[in-house]
């Protein structure tokens, strides 16, 4: 789950190499400007779905039966490398996905280790020798700041595994269909967003009663409905895009001539 649009220089956190490093809280979210989508865990659907369209994309993996594995993402923009939830350096949405909240840390596999390692983006300006909260104490042990971050990473990884099981189940049930979204901006420009999957409501309604009851009791049905309701937010992305284009056009207009 290393997103190259967010993490530029992930390094394995080392108490010797990074003994004197400090960390500042994130206030400048321009680090996300190249992200038009971001991974979501399933537990985030109820909150994230109030702000973003939640869609599914193929991961490139295959399940044991050969079916394509999927992953949920929140759509942040309508074209590649454009985050419409960003206003300058400010995050302009009520909800901030956990994938971004864990920055500049992440976990990833380490060769020769059975457990994932904690990595830090060494290229981030808030990771320095001078400003912020220390990550290690004089003995090289994690400070409460770092311990809290590691705990968050562990919870994120646990939710990621639950999300994988959720995705596996809906793939097994063949509940998804390919979709595309078409929109026309006030300027007349047409936009097409394609290459994503959504739940097929007809297939969902046709599930046998026993399966529907299973999905209701294990919480999957609620998550699928949250996903479907979130799709109305595509319209909000179009509105944001239109406002951004209008602001850019206005800024490009020549200034009126000065009076006498």
Distance CA(97)–CA(156), nearest Å, equals: 11
Decide if pLDDT at 56 tops 80: yes
User: Are the CB atoms for 135 and 23 separated by under 8 Å?
Assistant: yes
Longest dimension (CA), the chain: 81
Q: How far apart are CA 171 and CA 63, in angstroms?
A: 9
Per-residue model confidence (pLDDT) at position 192 = 76
Structure tokens that stand for 66 in this block: 């050969």
Least confident of 61-65, 150-154, 250-254: 250-254
63 pLDDT higher than 80? yes
Q: Are 105 and 75 spatial neighbours (Cβ–Cβ below 8 Å)?
A: no
Distance CA(35)–CA(99), nearest Å, equals 12
pLDDT given for residue 23 in this prediction: 94
Structure-model confidence comparison of residues 2 and 254, the more confident one: 254
Mean per-residue pLDDT over the chain, rounded? 90
Tokens of 253: 């207009």
What is the edge-to-edge ordering of all strands in the sheet holding 22-23? 127-128, 22-23, 133-134
Contact of 132 with 125, CB cutoff 8 Å: no
Given pLDDT bands bounded at 50, 70 and 90, which one contains residue 252?
low
71-124 pLDDT, tens per residue?
999 999 988 889 999 999 999 999 999 999 999 999 988 888 878 899 999 999
pLDDT in tens, 6-45: 899 999 999 999 999 999 989 899 999 999 999 999 999 9
Long-range contacts of 158-167 (CB under 8 A, 24+ apart): 159/41, 159/42, 159/43, 159/98, 160/1, 160/41, 162/41, 162/42, 162/43, 163/40, 163/41, 163/42, 163/43, 163/71, 163/72, 166/42, 166/220, 166/223, 167/56, 167/69, 167/70, 167/71, 167/72
- Using a cut of 0.85, tell me whether the model's pTM lies above it: yes
Q: Give pLDDT, residue 251.
A: 67
Non-local (6+) Cβ contacts of 99 within 8 A are 1, 3, 38, 39, 40, 156
Read off the pLDDT of each residue in 230-234 and give the average, rounded to a whole number. 94
Phi, psi for 171 (deg, rounded to 5): -70, -45
Coil, helix or strand for 199? strand
Six token digits for residue 116: 């994932």
For residue 167, pLDDT over 70 is answered with yes
pLDDT of residue 253: 64
CA distance 94 to 23: 24
């Amino acid at each position: 789950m290393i997103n190259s649009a967010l993490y530029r220089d992930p390094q394995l956190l080392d108490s010797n190499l990074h003994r004197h490093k400090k960390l500042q809280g994130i206030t400048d979210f321009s680090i996300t400007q190249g992200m038009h989508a971001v991974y979501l865990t399933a537990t985030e659907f109820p909150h994230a779905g109030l702000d973003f369209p939640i869609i599914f994309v193929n991961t490139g993996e295959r399940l044991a039966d050969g079916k394509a594995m999927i992953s949920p993402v929140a759509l942040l923009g309508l074209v590649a490398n454009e985050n419409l939830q960003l206003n300058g350096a400010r995050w302009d949405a009520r909800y901030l996905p956990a994938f971004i909240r864990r920055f500049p840390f992440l976990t990833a596999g380490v060769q020769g280790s059975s457990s994932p390692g904690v990595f830090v983006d060494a290229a981030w300006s808030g990771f320095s020798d001078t400003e912020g909260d220390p990550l290690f104490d004089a003995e090289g042990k994690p400070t409460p700041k770092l311990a809290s971050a590691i705990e968050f990473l562990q919870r994120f990884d646990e939710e990621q595994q639950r999300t994988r099981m959720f995705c596996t189940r809906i793939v097994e049930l063949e509940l998804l269909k390919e979709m595309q979204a078409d929109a026309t901006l006030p300027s007349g420009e047409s936009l097409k967003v394609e290459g994503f999957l959504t739940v097929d409501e007809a297939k969902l309604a046709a599930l046998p009663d026993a399966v529907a009851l299973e999905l209701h009791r294990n919480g999957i049905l609620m998550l699928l409905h949250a996903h479907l309701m979130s799709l109305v937010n595509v319209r909000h992305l179009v509105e944001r895009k239109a406002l951004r284009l209008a602001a850019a056009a206005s800024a490009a207009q020549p200034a009126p001539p000065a009076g006498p």
